[in-house]
Amino acid sequence: MSTKPFRFSWQSFAADSPKEWTERAKKAEDSGYSAFHLADHYIGPGIALDEAAHPIQNLAAVPAIMSAADATNTIKVGCRVFCTSYRPAAVLAKEAMTIDFLSEGRLELGLGAGWVSSEYEAMGIPYDSPGKRIDRLEETIHIVKAHMKAKDLNFEGKQTTAKNYQGLPGAYNDHVPLMIGGGAPRILGLAGKEADIVSINYNNSAGNLAGSRDTDTAEETMKKIDWIKDGAGNRFDQIELEIGAYLTIVTDNQLETAESMSGMMGMSVDQLLSFPHALIGSIEYICEELEKRRELYGISYISFSDNSAESVIPIVKRLNGN
């Protein structure tokens, strides 16, 4: 399906020291990763995080992205993805374009509608209906794209406002790659319409990561790609498809490992091995599997988390750009 070259992102959530953070960003760059990303989360350990069933992120995205950019020279930096509920759209656009300016055009800007219900509650931010959150995302995209072009901003929507001033700075190289992430029909249709990169994520409509992944199987992922196509129309071939390989284990004992994980995931071994967000097997197997999935789904951009990013460096070096 896809002939786009492979790219890889290292998504990092936490660091125990400033040195560890900057050295990790440098390692990602030196190892052939295309981008170094954070997520956009704020709450530390506690009841709210337990309810979210989400990894701890101890760094705020904006300053941590800029720190990673300052420590590196060529790698893209960004957030996978910024929650458009957490900042006014005008503020997010200004901060994003400032990062792009100060990094000399290395921002990869990810946007999403937000989904961690307990985090909203913990921070006192209204957890609006999915429709209202996606409306806000759509309006934010409009403002960001105008700011990117250093245009006069004259937008007043139902959720966002940016008017009577010029958006500065504009994009350092006239355009910032825009990633939009999600796992449900409307947001993926919007991503197909507006994004350079579509991040195919879990369907997080439950507001947390607990429970079944029935909406994220191989079969459901094909549906997600159809939703992207519906939004994209004749521009689908211009879009880069990205996915997070959240459960990645490099091992020569594939079946034993998959059997030990299948119960926790609520899947059979075969289902787990074909799960688009999992890669379990040897370096050789994972390389071959990624090539098969690129052919099947069109996904050429893979994100790895801290728990696997170092172990897959041989894969990144072998496939990056091919």
CATH code at 219? 3.20.20.30
Is position 78 within any domain?
Answer: yes
Is position 47 within any domain?
Answer: yes
Is position 255 within any domain?
Answer: no
Is position 192 within any domain?
Answer: yes
pLDDT under 70: residue ranges of the chain: 1-2, 211
- Count of the separate structural domains present in the chain: 1
Return the pLDDT at 2. Answer: 61
Is position 155 within any domain?
Answer: yes
Is position 202 within any domain?
Answer: yes
36: β partners: 10, 77
Is position 18 within any domain?
Answer: yes
Asked if 10 and 77 touch (Cβ cutoff 8 Å), the reply is no
Return the pLDDT at 277. Answer: 95
Return the pLDDT at 192. Answer: 98
In this prediction the pTM is 0.95
Is position 125 within any domain?
Answer: yes
Within 8 A by CB and 6+ apart from 75, the residues are: 25, 28, 29, 33, 34, 35, 36, 106
